[in-house]
């Protein structure tokens, strides 16, 4: 059985209430940190753990913290990115809905390490019901002395606020999130300067994902080296995977990084195999923004080695034969799935969610959707397939934020691995599925 850090007590009745959370060892990490560890020592433990950001980019968390300008006379901020809206990704809402105090405890630890006295949880607008649960938990934390002035008599003070967005996917990009939090339109900022230097209200700021922050109590309680001992290579610890699609057991799973992809798909402990005994066709491994891989490449690398659920193994071979772990949105497709139709669904999403600030993304996402509609609707031509590839090339790497890349990568990879399916749509002048 895999180590459980985030889902260990998730099914305990009443876990969202502070009394239940405390009985299970909750807030002991805060007590330990504030009484026995300096802020730098907390940061050092996170560095030792090898924890990477769980929102998609996979940047080392401790290193990100070390960039913050602690010498600045301005206020420091920790902001939790709870704007989970990547198609196929639904892990973070699970934490906030069922175990909000673990997130709050992580926010206290991260804020203490950074020297922040004010912190924010920026939550997706569609998750307003979760916001209410978190706000209740925050009130309980204040009442029990874990938030507010002079926490546990340590001399450290922290105010924590929960702020709802308005349902814009672009606000999952950290600088767009900060713009929205300041009350502006959620358009990404040009970097540099980076948020660690000029972030919220022009002050040093760190933005971390929900899963990343919720992992901190375990690391502080057990030590960075204990966390680093879990996983494989530079992929340390556990990872939440939200699995959906044509599998027998869709759901949220906590895996130890390094688990073989084949075991994750076919083991009864996890996805339980493909529905109706069908044949695996393709997998989107890390949310809709990562390249899609056909069955042969998701189960084994181009060199014939078993593909593992890790940052390194999934990306092996680059985008020609590899993909990304991303946010852990694991979408499985069997042989009955139409790749073109699925790609059209993704393209429609990115066209709708583009902020329109950058011309390549604003125009490119619209054209990719139109051309895919043409092909799926039976009016496409062979030239349209190459045109899609060309548009994707001109979008990728030419935008302020990664949304342009997120829209281009699925298109390029789908045509790279399933070009014959696009050609069949054109030849038949209809969808063969």
| Domain co-membership, 221 together with 249 | no
Residue 41 included in any domain: yes
The residue written with tokens 């011309």 in the block is 359
Q: For residues 223 and 103, state if they share a domain.
A: yes
Residue 71 has pLDDT above 90, yes or no: no
Q: Is residue 122 part of a domain?
A: yes
Residue 294 domain flag: yes
Dihedral sign for Cα atoms in the order 108, 242, 345, 290? positive
The stretch 244-266 carries a mean pLDDT of 98
Mind listing the pLDDT tens digit for each residue in 346-397? 999 999 999 999 999 999 999 999 999 999 999 999 999 999 999 999 999 9
Domain range spanning residue 74?
18-229
Burial (CB count <10 Å: 0-12, 13-18, 19+), residue 83: buried
Query: Are 177 and 30 in the same domain?
Result: yes
DSSP state of 269: T
Provide the domain count of the chain: 3
In a domain, 1, yes or no: no
> Residue length, the chain?
433
100 and 205 assigned to the same domain: yes
- The pLDDT value recorded for residue 266 is 98
Q: Are residues 311 and 275 in the same domain?
A: yes
Cα(239)–Cα(181) distance, rounded to whole angstroms?
28
Contact 172, 127 (CB under 8 A): no
* pLDDT of 194 higher than 90: yes
- Cα 374 to the chain's mean position, in Å? 32
pLDDT at 1 over 80: no
Mean pLDDT score of the chain, rounded to an integer?
A: 96
**Domain end point (choices 229, 253, 282):** 229
Q: How far apart are CA 260 and CA 313, in angstroms?
A: 10
Q: Which of 382, 410, 384 is nearest to 395 (CA)?
A: 410
Please name the residue that has the structure tokens 């556990």.
238
377 and 244 part of one domain: no
Show which of 229, 251, 273 is a domain's final residue: 229
Return the CATH number at 176: 3.40.50.11540
Whether residue 10 is contained in a domain is answered as no
Same domain membership, residue 223 and residue 245? no
What integer pLDDT is reported at residue 57 of this predicted model? Answer: 83
Query: What pLDDT, on the 0 to 100 scale, is given for residue 341?
Result: 98
Distance CA 5, CA 8 (A): 6
- Same domain as 209, residue 243: no
Q: Are residues 215 and 317 in the same domain?
A: no
The CATH code of the domain that includes 311 is: 3.10.20.600
Burial code (b: 16+ CB inside 10 Å, e: under 16) for 316-330 equals bbebebbbbbbbbbb
Q: Would you tell me how many other CB atoms lie within 10 Å of the CB of residue 397?
A: 11
Q: Is residue 11 part of a domain?
A: no
237 alpha carbon, distance to own chain's centre: 15
Determine which helix (DSSP H) or strand (DSSP E) holds 394, and give its type and residue range. helix 382-395
Residue at 4 is within a domain: no
Residues 281 and 362 in one domain: no
Same domain, 53 and 192: yes
As a whole number of angstroms, the distance between CA 240 and CA 328 comes to 7
Residue that is last in its domain, among 334, 366, 391: 334
Q: Are residues 346 and 415 in the same domain?
A: yes
Q: Half-sphere exposure of 259 toward its Cβ, with a 13 Å CA cutoff? A: 24
> The dihedral of CA 64, 30, 181, 135: what is its sign?
positive
385: CATH = 1.20.1440.230
pLDDT for residue 70 is more than 90: no
Q: Is residue 202 part of a domain?
A: yes
């Amino acid at each position: 059985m895999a180590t459980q850090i985030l889902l260990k007590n998730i099914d305990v009745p009443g876990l969202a209430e502070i009394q239940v959370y405390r009985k299970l060892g909750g807030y002991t990490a805060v007590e330990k940190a504030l009484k026995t560890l300096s802020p730098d020592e907390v940061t050092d433990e996170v560095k030792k753990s090898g924890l990477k950001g769980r929102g998609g980019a996979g940047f080392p968390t401790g290193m990100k913290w070390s960039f913050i300008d602690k010498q600045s006379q301005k206020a420091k901020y920790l902001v939790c990115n709870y704007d989970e809206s990547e198609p196929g990704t639904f892990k973070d809402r699970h934490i906030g809905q069922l175990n909000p105090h673990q997130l709050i405890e992580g926010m206290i630890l991260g804020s203490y390490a950074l020297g922040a006295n004010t912190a924010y949880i920026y939550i997706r607008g569609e998750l307003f019901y979760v916001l209410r649960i978190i706000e209740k938990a925050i009130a309980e934390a204040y009442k029990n002395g874990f938030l507010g002035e002079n926490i546990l008599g340590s001399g450290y003070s922290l105010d924590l606020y929960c702020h709802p967005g308005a349902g814009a996917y672009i606000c999952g990009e950290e600088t767009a999130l900060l713009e929205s939090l300041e009350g502006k339109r959620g358009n990404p900022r040009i970097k540099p300067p980076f948020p660690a230097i000029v972030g919220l209200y022009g002050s040093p700021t760190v933005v971390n994902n929900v899963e990343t922050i919720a992992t901190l109590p375990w690391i502080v309680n057990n030590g960075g080296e204990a966390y680093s001992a879990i996983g494989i290579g530079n992929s340390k610890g556990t990872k939440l995977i939200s699995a959906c699609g044509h599998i027998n057991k869709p759901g949220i799973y906590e895996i130890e990084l390094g688990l073989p992809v084949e075991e994750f798909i076919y083991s009864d402990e996890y996805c339980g195999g493909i529905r109706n005994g069908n044949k695996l066709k393709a997998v989107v491994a890390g949310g809709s923004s990562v390249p899609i891989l056909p069955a042969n490449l998701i189960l084994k690398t181009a060199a014939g080695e078993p593909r593992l659920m890790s940052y390194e193994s999934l990306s092996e071979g680059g985008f020609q034969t590899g993909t990304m772990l991303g946010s852990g949105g694991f979408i499985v497709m069997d042989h009955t799935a139409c790749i073109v139709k699925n790609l059209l669904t993704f393209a429609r999403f990115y066209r709708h969610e583009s902020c329109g600030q950058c011309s390549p993304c604003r125009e490119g996402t619209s054209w990719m959707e139109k051309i895919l509609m043409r092909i799926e609707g039976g009016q496409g031509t062979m030239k349209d397939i190459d045109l899609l590839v060309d548009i994707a090339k001109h979008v990728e790497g030419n935008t302020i934020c990664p949304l342009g890349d997120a829209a281009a990568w699925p298109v390029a990879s789908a045509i790279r691995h399933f070009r014959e399916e696009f050609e069949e749509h054109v030849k038949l002048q209809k969808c063969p599925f």
